[in-house]
Structure 1
Amino acid sequence: MRLSAAVALVGLAATSMFAGVNAESDVLDLTTKNFSDNVKGEKLILVEFFAPWCGHCKSLAPEYEIAATQLKEAGIPIAKVDCTVETELCQEHGVQGYPTLKVFRDGEAVDYNGPRKADGIISYMKKQILPALSEVAAEDLVTFSQSDRVVVIGVLPKDAEKREILEKVAKKYREEFVFGVVEENPDVEGSGIVLYKKFDEGKNILKGDDFTEESLVEFIQTNSVPVMDEIGPDNYARYMDAALPLGYLFFSTPEDRTKFSAEVETLAKELKGKMNFVYIDAAKYGAHAANLNLKESWPAFGIQNVVSGVKYPIEQEGDLTFEKIKALADGVLAGTVEPSIKSEPIPETNDEPVKVVVAHNYKEIVDDLDKDVLIEFYAPWCGHCKSLAPTYERLGELYKGSEIVIAKMDATTNDLPSDVPFIIQGFPTIKFRKAGTTEYIDYSGNRSEEDLIKFINTNAVNKADVKADVEADVEAEKEEPVTADEIEHDEL
C-alpha cells in the first residue's frame, strides 16, 4: 500500500459524512442480499469495501461521489459495501484493510490500483471498458488521440507481426494508458508508435517497426511523464513505475518554485530518460522530506533511487542553489556521490526478546545466515503496529534463546541497506529470512500469535518447539480495531 493523505479516527464525523450520501447518491449501496444481482449483472462495476470510522474512506467519499455521477453517464456503476455491517461479505472477498476497492468484470474481481481522486477514478474506469487495444478508423484518429491524458497509437499494417507486441504491452498497461492501432497516420511516415499527451511537446514518435516489448515499454514510460510536474498521490505511482532516479524540489511559496523553475526544468529536459524531476508542495507533503533524509526547511532538494530506495539529499547548511542541484544530479548519474544512510544509534544493550534493528546493525542481526529472522518494519504512529506490539513481544519471548530471531525496525528513523532487495511501502511490513539464504518471504496472514507461529515453523530452517497462547489471541481479537489512518500528516 502506498501511503496517502489521512486524517484522525473520528467515528462520529465519518457517520455524518456517509449519512450525507443518501437516496440522491449515484453510489449504489450493496449488501449480502443484493450484491450478487448487482455485481454479476454488470459487465463492469467498481466496488469500495469501507468502514465508517476509516479516515482514508472519509477522504475518498466526496471523490467517489463525483466519479459515480460522471461514470453513470458512461454506463459504469460504482458501489460501496459497509464492512462493519456486511462482515461476512467482506471476509468472502478477502478485505483486510480500508478502503479496499475492486473492479468486477462480468462478476470476476481484480484489485483496483488506480488513483483516489475523481478525475483519476473516471479515467481509470473508462480505460477498463475499452478493449486493451482499440482498432481506430482513420476518421476517428484525432478524437481518439485526445481521449485521455496519454494515448499510445501504433501505426501498423493489419498483418504486421509487431501488432502482437503492441497488444501484449496494451494488456499489461491498460490501467494506465489508452492504446489504439491504425493503419495510417499523418504524424508518422510508414510504421511507428505515436504517444500523444496533454503536456510538454504534445507527442513523441518511435519510428519504424524495429521495436521489442522492452524498448516499447521504455519509450512509453520515458515519455508519459511530464518533463517536470508537481507530484501528489495521483501521479506518485507513475514515477515509481518509471524506475528512474527521482529529484524532488520542495517549495513552500510560489517564489521558491519560480526561483528555480527555469533552470531546473532545463536540466530535467537535458536528463530526460535518465532522471525524473518533480516539484513537491511542502505545505502539503513536507513530511516526505524525512524520506529523503532532509529537514523540514525550505526550499530543499534531494534525489531518490526509486528502485533501491537510496537517498541523496543536498546538505541544508547554507542556501540552496541551482549549481548544487546540478552537481548532485550529475554526481548521482555518474556514481560519484555517496548515498545518505539514516540510522538511530546502535543500542548499548540488545538482549530483549525482540531484537532492535537500526541501519548500522542491520547486517549484523538480519543478515546473520546462521539464524532465521522474522523482522517487523513499523512506524511509531501506525495503529496496526501498536495493536501488533503485545503479540510480537510474546512471540519474542517464545523464541528467545533459539536460533530464530524476532526483530523490529523503526522504518521512519532508519534506512535499509542499499543491497536489500525491497523497499517499505506500508506499515507494518513483516518479512522472514531463512537461515543460510538471502531470500525474504513476505508475511501477509492474520497477525495472531497462532498464525505467526505457524508461518515461522513452516518456513524456518532452524526448529523450535513453540506453541501459541490461545487465550492471549482471543483477548487480542476483542481489542478495538485501529488503523494506520491515525497518521497526522500527509504522505505521498
Structure 2
Amino acid sequence: MKGLFTLCVLFALYWAGNSEVVDLDSSNFDQYVNGDKAAFVEFYAPWCGHCKNLAPAYEEVGKAFENVDDVLVAKVDADGQRDLGSRFGVKGFPTLKFFPKGSTDPEDYSGGRTADDIIKYINEKTGGRGRINKPPSDVTDLDVGNFDSIVMDADKDVLVEFYAPWCGHCKKLAPVYEQLGQTYKDEPSCVVARVDADGNRDLATRYGVSGYPTIKFFPKDNKDGVDYSGGRSLDDFIKYLNEKCGTDRVAGGKLSAKAGLVDDMQNFVEKFKSEEDGRENVISEAEKTAESLDNSFASYYVKVMKKVVDKGNDFVKTEIERLGRMLSGDLSAKKSDEFTKRRNILKKFEL
C-alpha cells in the first residue's frame, strides 16, 4: 500500500506540474526552448497509459537536472496543445525529443525509458552532470564484469534476482528485495544480489532467463544455480536463506533468539541446572564435547558453567543485563552479533 500511495503522489505531482519538470504550452514553449540551453521534452497525453508508467521515472530525470543550469527537462500535453504536437510531428504518446543547446531543431529520442537511461543520454549529449541521489543499497549489483567473481566464489551462497528495469513485477518486488539485502548485509558468505538481465543479456541467456523477475540461488557447492520458486514475501526469502546459508537472521538484520545455540551442548545445560551437586562432572563432560565440535560458541557453554559455579546462579541474570546494556550502545555489527549469541546462550541457563 505504501508503494502504491507513493506512486499516486508522483502521478499527482507530475500532472499538476508541482515538480522539477517544467510544463510547456503554446504560450511559453519558444521562451523556454530557444537554444539557450539543452532541452529534453516529453510530449504526452493525460489519458495515455504508457505516459503514466513513465511519469515516476521522468520525475526522477527532472530532479537529476534541477541544479544543472544549462539543461531543461520539460513536458507538453500534446493532446491539449495539438499545435505543438503537430509542429514537432508527434504521432504517438509519449514522444521524447532532445533539443541541443544552440538549436531549436529536435532530435528524436529512441532509447530506454528508465530514469537512468534518459539521464545517461542527456549527460552524454551535454557533458554529464545530472545524477540521481539514490539511497545506499545493501543489495549487490552484478554485471558481466563482476558476476563470476562474486557468484562463482566457492565461499559464498548467493541469491540472484534477474530483473528488467521496465518490468512491473520487478518494481513490485524491489522494496522487499532491498529489505532482504539489509537483513543479510552483515553475512559476508550469504549474498543478496541482482543483475539487470535486460542490460546484460548474455548473462540472461547463460542461465536461461526468459521472464522477469527470475530468481536463482547459487550455493557454495553448486554454481550451476537452482531456481527459487518460493514465496515473494520478506519472510519467505528469510526463511529460505536461513535454511540454505545456515544463518539465523530476522527482518532488519538482527539475529534470532536461537542464533549461537549449539544443539550438542543443550543437554548439558539441562543437566547443569537440575543436578546442582554434580555440576563438576557435567562441566567435565561438556568440556570434552565442546573440544570435539567445530563451533566457537560451544566453549562458551563451558565458560558459563564455570562462572556460575564460581560466582553463583545470579551470574546468569547479571551477565544477561550487562550484555543488554552493551547491545543498546554503539557496537560494530560483528560485536553485536557476538554479544547477541552469548546472551541467547545465557538465557538457556536461566532458572
Give TM-score scaled by structure 2 length: 0.39
Higher strand content, 1 or 2: 1
> Greater CA radius of gyration, 1 or 2?
2
Higher helix content, 1 or 2: 2
